[in-house]
């Protein structure tokens, strides 16, 4: 039987996500380094995901659970699935393991046995109702996967709601909106229209009276973001012009190909398709295939590419929110903090740490999201462009009840309240983040150039090392130091000391069977050299064959 598709699991995209992929590698086929699954198996996995989502809903008394069929920034032939918890956030940690076991049970009998154990151990009342809302991105393989998911939902008697072809963040929004409907915490109308209305109105309130910004060019990665961005335009009522590029959602193979946020971040260059579209100084940005990542950039007068990544977005947004909190007279009551990972550029950390508390956590949105919940207002962004801002429930009530004593305080307060509406607080959302960035630029009268000059990025380099067993690499201190293999960290430390402004860390990937090496230094050539030398140390420590050592590893 031919291999029809690649399937990537992302129940909660933390280290656990790989557990599932690993099992799939063990159970099924590996093809070009991807987890490849035959069509029939793939259908059965989606069927099982339907059952898992329904059980999660039953466990929570029928609250709606979300399922998103997407492989995000990965190539079009890949596909995957994410489960969204009722608050609109990622699936709770303990359920990742359940999902892993269920999806990987080798036979139907095994599957039923695992199911039975799960129902008993987590005390699920199977007679409870189950509601699941699901959507897919524009990948052609999504149609069959959704059908298989629907079969799983009917098998367990769950009520399904098909949200059609939409972005991952819109699906997260819908889950939260459904579950908060007719409550004091209502998140908005539980429809796509409700989402666009909420964002569009908040944006217009926030930019009212500001001179309009020049049009923004958006690279839609030839994905579902093109549909959503086009609808968003209707709700902005002329307050911001969007020029949509790479919007070919039906061209085979175009999705994420030589475009999109991941291409821009990893290649550190303009998508070739935009080369004759972008004028010097004009702002542009790229979404990824499911529109939950965002990269901004511009070309300077000499045509040189400048990237404004997740770190630059965090710096822009956090400084703006801190100023608003101060102007509202709330600086003693509302504490703003930022969450980053070790990948954050050292210059961004320095810039932010001079202004507000900064916390570093392990890679993966769930770690950032949870850490951000500990601040009154928590700003989190990964350098790769995934991020959002969380306003704690008590902060939202404080804002609602606060009595400003001057007109300036009142204006700042209104802006803060509108920001709570503009920002998709369930998950990183490229469209909502675009509007947030544009609000700050409009308020500060910044072009991309001024935004970029908040701080100068340290040159950095990311390298992959293929090893036999990446589980031999264990980290501590938010992945900034290695615990094992023994002795490797001290060798890295010794090397790093020889580089001006040097910093480097090594971590096993959670999504690929490789070890990643990050390095930065004051000078570009030094950052490259440091990265390759550390990669060489990793290669040796992993027992790589010296005759096959990649030559760039020195
Ligand atoms: C996933 C994560 C992302 C993380 C990346 C790291 C989510 C939704 N996405 O894409 O946050 O940066 O994995 O991949 O959690 P790595 O472990 O292979 O470096
Ligand atoms: Zn994505």
Of the given ranges (6-10, 309-313, 485-489), which has the lowest mean pLDDT? 6-10
The pLDDT > 70 percentage for the chain reads: 92
DSSP H/E element including 147:
helix 142-156
Quote the pLDDT of residue 43: 80
Ligand nearest to the Cα of 475, by number: 1
Q: How far apart are the C-alpha atoms of 325 and 332, rounded to whole Å? A: 9
Query: Helix, strand, coil proportions of the chain in percent (round to 5)?
Result: 45, 20, 35
Beta strands in 362-459 (DSSP E): 377-381, 387-391
**pLDDT, tens digit (0-9, with 9 covering 90-100), for 371-426:** 999 999 999 999 999 999 999 999 999 999 999 999 999 999 999 999 999 999 99
Q: How many residues belong to the chain?
A: 554
State yes or no: pLDDT of 31 exceeds 50.
Answer: no
Ligand nearest to the Cα of 72, by number: 2
Q: How far apart are the C-alpha atoms of 451 and 445, rounded to whole Å? A: 10
Q: Whose CA is nearest to atom 5 of ligand 1?
A: 364
Average pLDDT over residues 136-150: 96
Q: Among 365, 382, 462, 464, which is best to mutate for testing ligand 1, by the most ligand atoms less than 8 A from CB?
A: 365
Q: Is residue 108 marked as binding? A: no
Establish whether residue 384 lines the binding site of ligand 1, counting it when its CB lies within 6 angstroms of any ligand atom: yes
Of the given ranges (15-19, 229-233, 248-252), which has the lowest mean pLDDT? 15-19
Look-up of token digits 């790989």 = 18
Structure-block tokens of residue 30? 């590996």
**pLDDT, tens digit (0-9, with 9 covering 90-100), for 393-408:** 999 999 999 999 999 9
Q: How far is the CA of 166 from the centre of ligand 2 (A)?
A: 12
Q: How far is the CA of 190 from the centre of ligand 1 (A)?
A: 28
Look-up of token digits 């968003």 = 232
Instruction: For residue 100, name the pLDDT band (cuts at 50, 70, 90).
Output: confident
Atom of ligand 1 nearest to the CA of 73: 10
Q: Is residue 72 marked as binding? A: yes
Q: How far is the CA of 302 from the centre of ligand 1 (A)?
A: 34
State yes or no: pLDDT of 112 exceeds 50.
Answer: yes
Q: Are 295 and 285 in contact (CB under 8 A)?
A: yes
Ligand nearest to the Cα of 310, by number: 1
Ligand nearest to the Cα of 225, by number: 2
Q: Among 344, 363, 428, 508, which is best to mutate for testing ligand 1, by the most ligand atoms less than 8 A from CB?
A: 363
Beta bridge partners of 260: none
Instruction: For residue 24, name the pLDDT band (cuts at 50, 70, 90).
Output: very low
Q: Among 381, 386, 467, which is best to mutate for testing ligand 1, by the most ligand atoms less than 8 A from CB?
A: 386
Q: Whose CA is nearest to atom 19 of ligand 1?
A: 509
Q: Looking at the annotation, which residues are catalytic?
A: 72
Quote the pLDDT of residue 41: 60
Pair type for strands 460-465 and 294-299: unpaired
Instruction: Supply the pTM of this predicted model.
Output: 0.92
Beta bridge partners of 339: 359, 380
Quote the pLDDT of residue 101: 87
Instruction: For residue 512, name the pLDDT band (cuts at 50, 70, 90).
Output: confident
Q: How far is the CA of 257 from the centre of ligand 1 (A)?
A: 19
Atom of ligand 1 nearest to the CA of 511: 18
Three-state DSSP class for residue 485: coil
Q: Whose CA is nearest to atom 12 of ligand 1?
A: 364
Three-state DSSP class for residue 277: coil
Quote the pLDDT of residue 14: 34
State yes or no: pLDDT of 131 exceeds 70.
Answer: yes
Establish whether residue 509 lines the binding site of ligand 1, counting it when its CB lies within 6 angstroms of any ligand atom: yes
Q: CB-based contacts of 505: which residues, under 8 Å, 6+ apart?
A: 342, 475, 479, 480, 481, 482, 492, 517, 518
Establish whether residue 168 lines the binding site of ligand 1, counting it when its CB lies within 6 angstroms of any ligand atom: no
Establish whether residue 511 lines the binding site of ligand 1, counting it when its CB lies within 6 angstroms of any ligand atom: yes
Is the sign of the CA dihedral 259, 261, 264, 267 positive or negative? negative
Q: CB-based contacts of 15: which residues, under 8 Å, 6+ apart?
A: 364, 510
The pLDDT > 90 percentage for the chain reads: 84
Atom of ligand 1 nearest to the CA of 368: 11
Average pLDDT over residues 333-354: 98
DSSP H/E element including 99:
helix 93-104
Q: How far apart are the C-alpha atoms of 85 and 176, rounded to whole Å? A: 9
Q: Is residue 510 marked as binding? A: yes
**How much is the mean pLDDT over the chain?**
92
Q: What is the DSSP string of 211-239?
A: PPPPPEEEE-TTSTHHHHHHHHHHHHTTS
Beta bridge partners of 38: 3
Q: What is the DSSP string of 542-554?
A: TT--GGGS-GGG-
Q: Enumerate domains of the chain plus CATH numbers.
A: 6-165 (3.40.120.10), 193-306 (3.40.120.10), 310-428 (3.40.120.10), 460-553 (3.30.310.50)
């Amino acid at each position: 039987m031919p291999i029809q598709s690649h399937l990537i699991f992302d129940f909660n995209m933390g280290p656990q996500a790989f557990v599932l992929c690993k099992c799939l590698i063990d159970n099924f086929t590996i093809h070009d380094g991807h987890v490849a699954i035959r069509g029939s198996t793939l259908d059965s996995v989606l069927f099982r995901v339907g059952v898992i989502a329904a059980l999660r809903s039953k466990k929570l008394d029928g609250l709606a659970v979300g399922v998103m069929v997407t492989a995000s920034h990965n190539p079009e032939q890949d596909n995957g699935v994410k489960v969204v918890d009722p608050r609109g956030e990622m699936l709770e940690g303990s359920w990742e393991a359940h999902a892993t076991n269920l999806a990987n049970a080798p036979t139907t009998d095994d599957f039923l046995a695992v199911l039975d154990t799960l129902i008993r151990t987590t005390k699920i009342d199977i007679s409870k109702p189950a509601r699941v809302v699901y959507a897919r991105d524009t990948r052609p393989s999504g149609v069959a996967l959704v059908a298989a998911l629907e079969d799983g939902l009917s098998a367990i008697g769950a009520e399904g709601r098909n949200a059609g072809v939409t972005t991952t963040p819109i699906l997260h929004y819908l889950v939260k909106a459904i579950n908060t409907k007719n409550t004091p915490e209502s998140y908005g109308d539980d429809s796509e229209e409700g989402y666009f209305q909420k964002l569009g109105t908040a944006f217009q309130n926030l930019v009212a009276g500001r001179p309009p910004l020049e049009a923004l060019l958006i690279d839609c990665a030839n994905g579902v973001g093109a549909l959503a961005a086009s609808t968003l335009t209707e709700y902005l009522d002329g307050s911001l012009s969007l020029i949509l590029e790479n919007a070919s959602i039906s061209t085979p193979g175009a999705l994420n190909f030589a475009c999109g946020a991941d291409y821009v971040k990893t290649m550190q260059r303009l998508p070739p398709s935009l080369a004759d579209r972008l004028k010097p100084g004009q702002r542009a940005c790229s979404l990824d295939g499911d529109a939950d990542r965002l990269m901004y950039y511009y070309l300077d007068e000499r045509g040189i590419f400048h990237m404004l990544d997740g770190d630059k977005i965090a710096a822009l947004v956090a400084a703006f929110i801190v100023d608003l909190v101060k102007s509202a007279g709330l600086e003693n009551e509302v504490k703003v903090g930022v969450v980053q990972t070790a990948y954050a550029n050292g210059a961004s950390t320095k810039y932010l740490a001079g202004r507000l508390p900064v916390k570093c956590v392990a890679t993966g949105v769930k770690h950032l999201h949870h850490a951000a919940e500990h601040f009154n207002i928590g700003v989190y962004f990964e350098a790769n462009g995934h991020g959002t801002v969380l306003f704690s429930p008590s902060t939202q009530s404080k804002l609602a009840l606060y009595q400003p004593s001057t007109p300036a305080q009142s204006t700042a307060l209104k802006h803060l309240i509108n920001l709570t509406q503009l920002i998709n607080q369930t998950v990183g959302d490229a469209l909502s983040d675009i509007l947030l960035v544009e609000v700050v630029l409009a308020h500060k009268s910044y072009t991309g150039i001024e935004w970029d000059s908040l701080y100068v990025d340290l040159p950095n380099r990311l390298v992959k090392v293929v090893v036999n067993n990446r589980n031999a690499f264990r980290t501590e201190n938010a992945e900034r130091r290695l615990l094992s293999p023994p002795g490797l960290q001290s060798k890295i430390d010794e090397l790093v000391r020889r580089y001006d402004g040097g910093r480097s860390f090594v971590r096993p990937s959670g999504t690929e069977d490789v070890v990643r090496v990050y390095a930065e230094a004051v000078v570009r050539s030094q950052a490259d050299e440091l990265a390759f030398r550390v990669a060489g140390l990793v290669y040796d420590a992993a027992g790589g064959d010296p005759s096959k050592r990649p030559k760039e590893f020195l």
